[in-house]
Amino acid sequence: MRTIVFAVVAALVALPALADEPTIKLKPGPSLDKVEANCGACHSLVYIQMNSPFLNAAGWNAEVTKMIKAFGAPISDGDAKDIAAYLAANYGT
Amino acid sequence: MLTRRSVLGAAGAGLALAGSGWPRFSESRAAGAPVTPGVPAGIADAATMETLPGKKPLIRLAYRPPNYESPLDYFRTPITPNDEFFIRYHLSDIPDVDVATYKIAVGGDGANGQTELTLDDLKKLPAYEVVAVNQCSGNRRGLSNPHVAGVEWGFGAMGCARWKGARLKDVLAIVGLKPEAIEIAFNGADGPAFDKTPDFIKSIPVWRAVDESTLVAYEMNGAPLPHLNGFPARLIVPGWTGTYWMKHLISITALTKPQGGFWMNPAYRIPVGMFPVVARFVTQENATSTPITEIVVNSLITSHADGAKVKPGNNTVGGLAWDGGYGITGVAASTDGGKTWSAATLGEDFGRYAFRPWSFAFRAKPGKNTVMVSATNKIGQTQTATLLFNPAGYHNNVMQNITLNAA
């Protein structure tokens, strides 16, 4: 239901359309595709760059967990582990 | 201070500093945006200046959801123009709002009745104006040491405008509050991109809701609210941080039980007892954390960026001071790292919730000079010398001490 609503309002948003979103190039590495697909579904990937490089592996794991538990991101346990590992390796301390 | 007068044209006294004595802000990063020194390296590299519809260029921290802050040189006037005002969203589904069908639902189990208000209905209620600072709770989060996760704001997640609208107490009087009502909750038309993400819903205590300064505003600086600042109507809670200033307001709900949800707890919380705030939100408080409420006393040097070049001899440094609505009574300045202090000159008073401009004349010696400032409010609160670290990076009012190089 919400998806349908979103599709309708997407045509009306005053911000430039999603297609105009600035391209964020994250560092290449294992599981980058999972990061782009999962994290990028709800927010700009710049949020990853913005929160770097000061989180350690536990800190990035807590962020991924927050996205799943608090924000309802539908990410499998396996993908969550891979995403947290990518973030710690490329955007961690 | 509430007033019905229209004084935008009388802003001259407060703008006296904007003359030739104010050098152009020198961008700290020529290639990107003039981010505040000290923010995480990742955002210092990624931030850019971007112009959104109806806005002047703002520092883009993020596009989706949109979070854009105002550069330092937009704070050289005590009133922030609408097109220079910062933008802050939690969720990225931001619908356009059609005024012809726009309604605010008013009711809840703490109300005697329910109704729907159109924008015209709202405008038929007595109109009030207040000049008030809207500051994001997380303003200066990027300067936390150590850094903490979140939107890494520098100095610019704030602005001060003249807001016009109906008093929330008059809106609530239409339905009538039950004696057992404890909180008033608010929702806006914006929502999450994904249906499992909690919608952004906030509440305030009833005592704060019926305060005469709390408005449902439909005008900002004499014009309709810009879309990205909450068109067509938003909540104004003068003195309290921006988290309560619900944009695109679509519901006002009187509650007999505390509002739940992620955005009330664990989000927007400060450790109990850490900050000298007077206004408490007791129905949401627990043993360790309490909702952020009023803005702590603070100031910002806006005439010069840290490290700016000046000429030896007479110089004037200026900026803004503000607090949670008690009113700024003084700004002290020091050129010796805080050993001795002199009073800065305060500019025009737009009311106790507004930015208070100030200026400080000093003689720069050739080479390195420092200027440190600290504001004081009417109840004797001052800024802190060192950061009161908290996990969300709120309430950073550490005194600035900038370096000016005279040559």
pLDDT in tens, B45-58: 999 999 998 999 99
**Interchain pair A50, B262: CB under 8 A:** no
Considering the domain boundaries, does residue B80 fall inside one?
no
Upper half-sphere CA count for residue A31 (Cβ side, 13 Å): 16
Band of residue B279 on the pLDDT scale cut at 50, 70, 90: very high
Distance, in Å, from the CA atom of B385 to the CA atom of B399, rounded to the nearest integer, reads: 6
Residues B253 and B382 in one domain: no
| Nearest residue of chain B to residue A49 (CA atoms) | B42
Distance, in Å, from the CA atom of B390 to the CA atom of B374, rounded to the nearest integer, reads: 21
Residue B373 structure tokens? 């400032």
Comparing C-alpha atoms, which of B81, B25, B23 is closest to residue B54? B81
Residue A61 structure tokens? 């794991």
CATH of A19-91, one of 1.20.120.430, 3.30.70.20, 1.10.760.10, 3.40.50.300: 1.10.760.10
Upper half-sphere CA count for residue A18 (Cβ side, 13 Å): 17
Residue B107 structure tokens? 């009711």
Comparing C-alpha atoms, which of B173, B158, B206, B185 is closest to residue B353? B158
Q: What mean pLDDT do residues B258-270 have?
A: 98
> Chain A partners of B46 at a C-beta cutoff of 8 Å?
24, 46, 49-50
Residue labelled with tokens 């004084």: B7
A54 closest CB neighbour out of B63, B146, B151? B146
- Mean pLDDT, chain B, rounded, equals 92
pLDDT in tens, A25-59: 999 999 999 999 999 999 999 999 999 999 999 99
For chain A, the domains span 19-91
Band of residue B10 on the pLDDT scale cut at 50, 70, 90: very low
> Chain B partners of A72 at a C-beta cutoff of 8 Å?
194-198
Amino acid at B359: S
Q: What mean pLDDT do residues B98-127 have?
A: 98
The interaxial angle of helices A57-69 and A77-91, nearest 10 deg, is: 140
Considering the domain boundaries, does residue B262 fall inside one?
yes
Q: Which domain holds residue B210?
A: 104-135+157-291
- Least confident segment among A81-90, B13-22, B54-63, B241-250: B13-22
Residues B262 and B314 in one domain: no
Please give the torsion angle defined by the CA atoms of residues B399, B41, B137 and B360, in that order, rounded to the nearest 10 degrees: 30
Q: What mean pLDDT do residues B103-118 have?
A: 98
Residue labelled with tokens 């929702």: B187
Band of residue B118 on the pLDDT scale cut at 50, 70, 90: very high
Distance, in Å, from the CA atom of B309 to the CA atom of B27, rounded to the nearest integer, reads: 12
pLDDT at B32: 73
Phi, psi of B175 (to 5 degrees): -95, -25
Distance, in Å, from the CA atom of B202 to the CA atom of B259, rounded to the nearest integer, reads: 7
B92 closest CB neighbour out of A12, A42, A72? A42
Give the domain-ending residue among B291, B321, B343: B291
Give the domain-ending residue among B291, B310, B336: B291
Taking a C-beta distance cutoff of 8 angstroms, is the pair B252, B168 a contact?
yes
- Least confident segment among B30-34, B154-158, B262-266, B315-319: B30-34
Residue B4 has pLDDT above 70, yes or no: no
**Interchain pair A6, B146: CB under 8 A:** no
